[in-house]
Structures are given as C-alpha cells and as structure tokens.
Structure 1
Amino acid sequence: MEKPKTAKTAKTPRARGKHRRLWGSLLAVAVLLAGAGGWVVYQNEYDLTEERVTVTGGKQPLQGVLARPTGGHGPYGLVVFVHGDGPVDATHDTFYRPLWEAMAKAGYATLSWDKPGVHDAPGNWLDQSLQDRADETLAAIRWAKAQPGIDPDRIGLWGASQAGWVMPKAARQSPDVKFVIAVGPAVNWLRQGRYNLLAELRERHASPEETAAAVARSDRNLAALRSAGTFEQYRAAGGDIEGLTPERWAFNKRNHLADATEDLAALRVPVQLVLGGRDLNVDSDDTEAGYRRLVTTPGLLRVLRFPDATHNLVPKDVEDSELRSTFLAVAAPRSLFAPGYLDGMRNFLTSLDHRKG
C-alpha cells in the first residue's frame, strides 16, 4: 500500500513577512561587515612603494625597507629612521607607515631596518653602544647615497627617544646629515631615567614610602653601573634585577652616561624637535630648554609641541585605552597619532626644500 503523503503547511502572510525581515537583517549585517572589512583594508594601504633591501657597508648587513613615493620620478630626498630603545623591526610593527606616507607626500623616501638580532637579522642590538648606533646610521646613509632615485644632498634623520643620543653624534660626524627630526628625545640619560621613575610613580599615585623605596633601589642600581662590578655580582649582592638580563645590564652599563650636550651644541643643520606634553618617559620641558640653550644658530631649531600627547605622540586618552588604541591601530592607523603630527612632519620637509630653493 502506498504511504500517504504528508501535507505541506502553507505559510501565512505574517510568517512570510517575518522571514523576509530576518533575511533582510542578515543581509544588512553582511553588507556592513563587508564594508568594514573594505574600510580596514583601505586604511592600511599606503601611497608608497616599499622595497626590502639589504644595507651593506657597516659592521654587519642590515635588513631594511626602502619606501619611495609613488608619484614622480625622483630623485627623492631621504629620511633615515633611527629607532628608539628595544627590539624594533623596520616598520615598528607597521607603526612607521603613516609617517613614511606623510614624508612621501613631501617628496621624500624613507629608509628603516630591523635592529641587529630582530627577525633573525645578524648581530644583537644589546651589544651596541650609542656610538655603534651612530656608525650604523652613517653606514646606512653611505649605502643610500648610491641608490637610484635618491638625492644624496637631501638626506636627514628621523628618530625617537633613545635616538636623541644617536642622531646628534651622526650629524656631528658627517656632512651627509642635512637635517634632524627628534621625537621625544632626552639630553641626559641619568636625568631622563630619574624623571621617568618619578613620573610613573606619580601616575599610579604611589605613596611617599613606596616612592622612597623605588628611588633607593634606583640609586643602588646606578651605583652598581658606575662600579667595575658585573651583573652576577650585582645580583649576588641582592640588587634589583626585575626586568634585567645580563645583556640588558651590559647595554645599560655601556650607555648610561650618555649626554647629548656637546653633540647638540655642534649641530649646524635644521632641527625639528617634537614633544608630547603628557610624556612619562622624557621631561619635555627639560628637553626643550636644553635644545634651545644648545642649538643657538638662528633659524635652525623648530619646536612642535602636542600638549595632550604621550611619548609615542599618541593622545593620552587613546594610549590609556587598550580597546581604543587597538581599534585605531587596525581600523584607522593614521588617526592613532596626535592630530597635526603627520602634517607637521610633511610641512617640515617641504619647508627644507623651499629654504634650499
């Protein structure tokens, strides 16, 4: 016997309308997601032509990125990037690209490289002195001068933080350095370290007792750096080694007496000093006073201050919010920086060419 067929239930007009609304909502969400994805892709595309390069001529080859403007045919001026502290790669985890693009709009190429030991690059950045870093920078300039499309008479330096002790050395030692852009630099290493310690303690509202204990630990650390003792001896004597490795200890011991005073006083090229008013790493007022005292040739020093920006030239409220900073870094990286910073970089470079002309 044939099995009876199951009757189909007809959909009511109300049910059909609910179904259409559901599909419409899903379609709208899909369109929004696709649009957001397209926006993120667009925001992370830069008007640059990047080339992976090997920079030779120094103590060891450097793995770098040479980024050129997409428009025009050159020859382009060149900004050589000098990193701050830490294991920084050529793009600084893509953080540099908005800067490169801003500089490209002024007709300048940019050159940056992985620090020694980063991404399997030869060497170890912790083995370097600040003079080693200056020598490395000058070797990169000599290499760049021979590259096609680069104007050898328009090469300068951009650098942040620790680069403030490297760039004045390089500029003092070589006439190839035509300008310096110093972002959040300090003049004296020890003075900067004490400022940073106290600023971070104030930021987290440390008690007077906690502050006194932290200063005492810092003083013991500095005394050990000045002595002939080793890291192992310092550790055996009960020294504070939190966050320290033997390699980092050796780096600090090699460089902790750094002071840019003499090198800054010898500068005879345009200097763009960029400072954040909410910088916990560097005393921006002390730095500005030092640069104004030392760079005395009329017209060479220009100061660009961003009152609400941090050491990274990011607005304080953005840097303090992991959610906001992560969102902007992914979805709108140019907006991560303090308003006016990228334009300031482009305007400075453009003004150099006008001055030369």
Structure 2
Amino acid sequence: MRVPAFALALLLTLPFAPAVQAGTVGDCRVGAYRLAGGRVVDIAPTDGDTLRWRTFDGETGALHAAADGRWTSTFGWTDRPDGKAATFSCAKGRITFDGRTGKRIAFNQTETRFPGRGVDLAGRLVLPKGGGRVPIVVLVHGSERDSARDFYWLQRMLPAQGIGVFVYDKRGTGGSGGDYSQDFDLLADDAVAAMREARRLAGSRAGRVGYQGGSQGGWVVPLAANRAPVDFAIISFGLAVTVLEEDQQEVVLEMTLKGHSPQDIAKALEVARAAEAVIASGFTSGFDEFDAVRAKYRDEPWYKDLHGNFTWLLLPYDKAQLIEKGQALKWGTPWTYEPMPTLEASTTPQLWALGADDFEAPSAMTSDRIRSLQAKGLPFTLAVFPKAEHGLTEYEMKDGMRVSTRYAPGYLQMMADFIRTGRIGPRYGGAVIDRPN
C-alpha cells in the first residue's frame, strides 16, 4: 500500500507497520494464545478499531467487532470475509478462534530503560516461562515511527516458540527519548546498547543472542553486528545497495513491468537521478537540473508511470514548495551510504530473507551481492521467496494494486530455526535458498 503523505512515504514503511492512530493499543485481548491442538494465534493491535490475528505458518487477517460480541475476520489485508471469528474472555485470558478454544500464553516479561547514544530508550525483554537458557533475538526497527513495544507482534510469536525477544522503541518513538532519526550509524549504536541490555536482563538464561531487522533495519543490523559480537543477524526484506540505488531499482522494475522500452526507462532514470540529487542535497541544490529534465520529458507517454521509492513525491512540486516540504524531512538519512564494505568486513552468520516481487526494496541486485559475498567465503545464507513483496507477504491484485494476503509460507519457521542454531533446513515454502560455501 502506498502512503500518500509526502513525509511518510519517504520512510520506506513496512506493510505490517500500523498507523500511529491505533485505538487498540493496551486492549486486553492483545496476546498470544495456544489453541486446542497446539496451534498458536497472536492477536495484535492495528490501526483504527480492528485487531490483527496471525499464526506461525503465516496466515493472517483483520478482526472486526460485531454487535453480538464476536469479532469477524477478513482475509489478509483484503476486505473479504474469510469465515473465521473470535470471541474473548479477558478476565480468564481465553479465546475462541475459528471454532477452537485457547488460553493466553504467559511469558516472563521485564520492562526497562537503558542508555542509547545520548538518549534513554524504552525496552522490554520477553522470555518463555522457565529457568533454562534460550536464544534471544533483538528486534531492530525499520523506518516506522510507531512504538515497537506496542506493535511488534514477534515479541509474542517467537517466545511462544521458545525464543526470547528484546523489543525497544527507536529513539523519538514510543517511550524512548530523543528525536526520530534515520541515521544508520546512530541507530546501530542504539541497537548495540539494546543487545547489551538484553544480555544483562536475561543473565544466565541468555543463550545465542543476535539481531533481526526489516527494511531499513537491513542497513542498521550489519553495522551493529560489526561493532559488538553477536551470534547471528537476520535481515528481512533489506538491501545491500544505497538508498538512492533503491529508488533507481524501483524505477527500473516498475517501468519494466509496465512494458516500457529500455530507451524510455533510461529517460525515466534521468528524472529519478535529478530528483535524488535534490533530496540528497538536503533540498539545497539541484533544482534547476530537476526542472530541466522534467520539462524535457513531462509530455512523453511513459512519464505518468514514473514512480520509484521517492522520485514520484518530488515530481509535482516547484523549487519553493520542495524547499518548504524538505524542512520536515531532515532525519539524517545517509542517502549514499554504501553497505558492501560493512558486509565484507562481517564475520557474523547472516540470514537474508527477501521477496522476489518486492517493489519497495527490489531484491535482484541485493541477491547478487549476497551471492558474491558467499563466494568470498562469508557465512551468509540467502532465501528469496517467490511471489512475495515488501514485508515478505504474498499478495493478490485488485484494481491494479497489490493487496497482501498472508506472510510467505516458511518465513517465520526459517527465522526461528536460524535463531536457534545458525542454520536452516532444506525447504521453507517455495523459497529459493543459496547457502554459505
């Protein structure tokens, strides 16, 4: 789903990241429940007056309150009823979901505040009940501005599978101090601080410890993993290219899928690079060049299909408007940060889980680069899920737009296996897997 607001669209927002206006945060229904037969369903807050359910195999839907006290479900992120329903007993911690009863799973949960780089951050350690050692994964933000402690559902889903989770609010979000930032260097230091706090709180229960980060977190996690030893790193739908290259790759992918010629795609890239120069300058230069290339191509048939990750946002505005709007976008984004030197210096086993159909973070060049690192002997595993887009969700088409339906089969199990052992099994849904040499 595209985010129409000028500023928000530059956040590379995750499909499963809800809007800040959610009215269900703190809802007594929110939690992970073990159903009769052993299946786990997680109930999470989301935007508006709905809840979202998810299961470990990747199925999901939205729950809508009905007049009779039931909650009825719609399929994935569509508005199509799927026949499922839920009822809750908050006082007893019980659920009836899709005809099966279940009980809320209790975890050992510890709230904490800890120092990041120059700010206090709010975090939470969630461990399975018991006293034994467990692997722990630190969940690293993408670019969303919501509270991870409120909205990250993996903080319940993974502990329900015997894996500990440390979740924290990124600086400038939720209960954490400081200003919102997209400075990867700064955010990597915060991630290291979160990892150390997770180890401190877990004490003797800490087994393997590492990171998982999606989207923008794919730039942050490798930096953090190089700064202090961890046992593993998982990058979900992230990139091994610069932020500006991401925009260019999205332009190429979208224009290709719309049937435009290589010559027209080359022209579209001229416009994209001019837009990128404006934003990379902090909206201080490049306006004349941008005006010239827009005037040159504005009337050509392909121009209406030019999009990219953020090029399209700049297209309607003149210099004065861009300067004004650019004042709200100074988040420290390192537009030309090249991630390959960081990856080449890594000794941490990494799992890269990518979507073959990802528009927001096109995966082809990143896949090639991860394979080149494997060829050099780095301990990286690459899994590319077919028919999956940003967020590792599968989708269907409606009115020319993608609508997500579920998480890619095998994706969650793959992450859990890698967290536990640093290795993955032979098959996860339809994922195409390249293993370390």
Using the size of structure 2 for normalisation, the TM-score is 0.59
Q: Structure 1 residue 64 and structure 2 residue 123: aligned?
A: yes
Partner of 2:419: 349
* CA distance in 1: counterparts of 2:274 and 2:392, whole angstroms: 32
Shift of 1:122: 1.5
Q: 2:137 aligns with which of 79, 87, 111?
A: 79
* CA distance in 2: counterparts of 1:74 and 1:353, whole angstroms: 21
- Give CA-to-partner distance per residue, 1:284-339, whole Å, 9 cap, x none: 221121112124565822222210111111112289999975xx7xxxxxxx3111
* CA distance in 2: counterparts of 1:352 and 1:68, whole angstroms: 19
Q: Structure 1 residue 184 and structure 2 residue 184: aligned?
A: no
- Secondary structure at the aligned position of 1:241 is classed as helix
Shift of 1:235: 7.2
Q: Which structure features the higher share of helix residues? A: 1
Q: Which structure features the higher share of strand residues? A: 2
- Give CA-to-partner distance per residue, 1:124-156, whole Å, 9 cap, x none: 223x52110111111112222211456556210
- Give CA-to-partner distance per residue, 1:16-58, whole Å, 9 cap, x none: xxxxxxxxxxxxx969879923289556986462443323354
Using the size of structure 1 for normalisation, the TM-score is 0.71
Evaluate the alpha carbon distance shift between residue 42 and residue 132 of structure 1 in structure 2; reply closer, same or farther with a 3 A threshold.
Answer: farther
* CA distance in 2: counterparts of 1:242 and 1:68, whole angstroms: 47
Q: Structure 1 residue 167 and structure 2 residue 216: aligned?
A: no
Q: Say if 1:278 and 1:316, in contact at 8 Å, map to a contact too.
A: no
Q: Which one-letter code corresponds to 2:421 in the other structure?
A: S
- Give CA-to-partner distance per residue, 1:1-24, whole Å, 9 cap, x none: xxxxxxxxxxxxxxxxxxxxxxxx
* CA distance in 2: counterparts of 1:242 and 1:41, whole angstroms: 52
Percent same amino acid at aligned positions? 25
- Give CA-to-partner distance per residue, 1:52-91, whole Å, 9 cap, x none: 3323354211122322123x32332211111112314214
Partner of 1:12: none
Q: 2:85 aligns with which of 33, 36, 52?
A: 36
- Secondary structure at the aligned position of 1:256 is classed as coil
Query: What 5-or-longer segments of structure 1 have no aligned partner?
Result: 1-28, 329-335
Q: Which one-letter code corresponds to 2:349 in the other structure?
A: P
Deviates more, 1:271-280 or 1:198-207: 198-207
* CA distance in 2: counterparts of 1:321 and 1:90, whole angstroms: 32
Shift of 1:160: 0.9
Larger radius of gyration: 1
- Secondary structure at the aligned position of 1:36 is classed as strand
Partner of 1:315: 394
* CA distance in 2: counterparts of 1:262 and 1:276, whole angstroms: 23
Q: 1:114 aligns with which of 139, 151, 169?
A: 169
Evaluate the alpha carbon distance shift between residue 285 and residue 54 of structure 1 in structure 2; reply closer, same or farther with a 3 A threshold.
Answer: same
Q: Structure 1 residue 144 and structure 2 residue 198: aligned?
A: yes
Deviates more, 1:192-201 or 1:309-318: 192-201
Counterparts of 1:232-311 in structure 2, within 5 Å, are: 238-239=318-319, 241=322, 244-252=325-333, 255-296=334-375, 298=377, 300-311=379-390
Q: Say if 2:283 and 2:323, in contact at 8 Å, map to a contact too.
A: no
Shift of 1:204: 6.3
Q: Say if 2:139 and 2:166, in contact at 8 Å, map to a contact too.
A: yes
* CA distance in 2: counterparts of 1:249 and 1:207, whole angstroms: 36
Q: Which one-letter code corresponds to 1:110 in the other structure?
A: V
* CA distance in 1: counterparts of 2:71 and 2:197, whole angstroms: 45
* CA distance in 1: counterparts of 2:175 and 2:287, whole angstroms: 30
* CA distance in 2: counterparts of 1:206 and 1:61, whole angstroms: 50
Evaluate the alpha carbon distance shift between residue 268 and residue 120 of structure 1 in structure 2; reply closer, same or farther with a 3 A threshold.
Answer: closer
- Give CA-to-partner distance per residue, 1:222-264, whole Å, 9 cap, x none: 323555xx53666798348399542424533xx0111111111
* Number of residues of Structure 1 aligned to a counterpart in Structure 2: 308
* CA distance in 1: counterparts of 2:226 and 2:411, whole angstroms: 27
- Give CA-to-partner distance per residue, 1:156-202, whole Å, 9 cap, x none: 01011111211111111212x21110111111212222112333455
Partner of 1:337: 407
* CA distance in 1: counterparts of 2:104 and 2:366, whole angstroms: 33
Q: Say if 1:164 and 1:260, in contact at 8 Å, map to a contact too.
A: no
- Secondary structure at the aligned position of 2:272 is classed as helix
Q: Say if 2:133 and 2:204, in contact at 8 Å, map to a contact too.
A: yes
- Secondary structure at the aligned position of 1:86 is classed as coil
* CA distance in 2: counterparts of 1:244 and 1:37, whole angstroms: 44
Shift of 1:280: 0.6
- Give CA-to-partner distance per residue, 1:261-291, whole Å, 9 cap, x none: 1111111121111011111122322112111
* CA distance in 1: counterparts of 2:276 and 2:325, whole angstroms: 13
* CA distance in 2: counterparts of 1:121 and 1:347, whole angstroms: 31
* CA distance in 1: counterparts of 2:378 and 2:258, whole angstroms: 40
- Secondary structure at the aligned position of 1:251 is classed as coil
Partner of 1:103: 158
